[in-house]
Structure 1
């Protein structure tokens, strides 16, 4: 994995574990020679992951919509900063520029990015690993919901392994590196669905 997209929040929660998580991810990427692809912002967890990657000598590629550049939240210190018109273009760029996706804590935008990466993997638009770093139990409820979708039958058995989750970054990255693509919906026939 040469580059990974990181989905995370632009907020700075009061609990310091979330910012430290972002910094640890950035440092780890740089130490491993993994380039960071992210939302291009300088605030919150986004800014922390980018700053830590840069401080450790790593590559940082930001992708940000014009509207957010205009709001003066763009991180001007990125190795590369791609300015796009829409959020859809931003998410497509994340997919095009990265070899996989890591989600750390965030809010609505982070969830949008995670679920789109999952949906696109399930369908067959990409065959890249989708990881979730469950810091301080932040995603416990989401992981329960993911399991529930499988139990009920809304996630097929062959797709239940799409989401690679761990509370340990080293474990998560190792499992993502070993990811084997599944049989996508595009490769199935109606009888399989």
Structure 2
């Protein structure tokens, strides 16, 4: 399975790096391919290292203005001309999506992927990996949107909230029919 992971390129502390590495190792050991932003820094590097070190493949999609920090040893690296093309390529190259901790870029990617799913533009499973409760507030907001009629389908049809990498990957494998 090609698993797209949206996450930060920032260097973060052990609260975030350890769970990211753990998830990445599950992806690699499971024989899956990481599809990610291609960066060789921060959590993006942590996840790519974890997948590579456990036998998984790396498919990066960088963007022109960040190509200088793209990972040189990726199995495949595409450089998009802008962020919109990058998001489209990441989605096209993936069978499933995991949203990990990140800033405004990650939030932008997450909301676009969910909006496309809401409108039936893809049916790929989407997991929001809620490491250290990072997305508790967003989860509450989504529940409010659902309760007040802002979502035209059940929240559970849009996104699965996982508290750890094991449950995230199990959901993806079950949803995709991959074991």
Instruction: Please indicate, yes or no, whether the TM-score normalized by the shorter chain is above 0.5.
Output: yes
| Structure 1 unaligned blocks of 5 or more | 181-193
Q: Any unmatched runs of 5+ in structure 2?
A: none
Residue 172 of structure 2 corresponds to residue 176 of structure 1: yes
- Worse-superposed segment, 72-81 or 141-150: 72-81
What's the counterpart of residue 164 of structure 1?
Answer: 160
Distance in 2 between residues matched to 1:159 and 1:63, nearest whole Å? 31
- The match for 2:93 is 97
Partner of 1:29: 27
Matches within 5 A, 1:51-62: 51-62=49-60
Higher relative contact order structure (alpha carbons within 8 Å, sequence separation ≥ 6): 2
* Alignment-derived partner of residue 106 in structure 2: 110
1:47-94 CA-to-partner distances (Å, cap 9, x unmatched) read 11011111112100000011111xx21111211111110111111111
**Contact map agreement 2:5 2:98 (CA 8 A) in 1:** yes
d(CA) in 2 for partners of 1:75, 1:19: 18
Match of 2:120 in 1: 124
How well do the aligned residues superpose, as a CA RMSD in angstroms? 1.3
Structure 1 segments (4+ residues) deviating >4 Å: none
Contact 1:50–1:60, Cα closer than 8 Å, also in 2? yes
Larger radius of gyration between Structure 1 and Structure 2: 1
How many residues get paired?
175
Length-normalised TM-score, structure 2? 0.93
Residues 122 and 159 in structure 1, CA contact (< 8 A), matched pair in contact too: no
TM-score of the aligned structures, taking structure 1 as reference length: 0.87
Determine the C-alpha separation between the residues in 2 that align with 1:22 and 1:41: 15
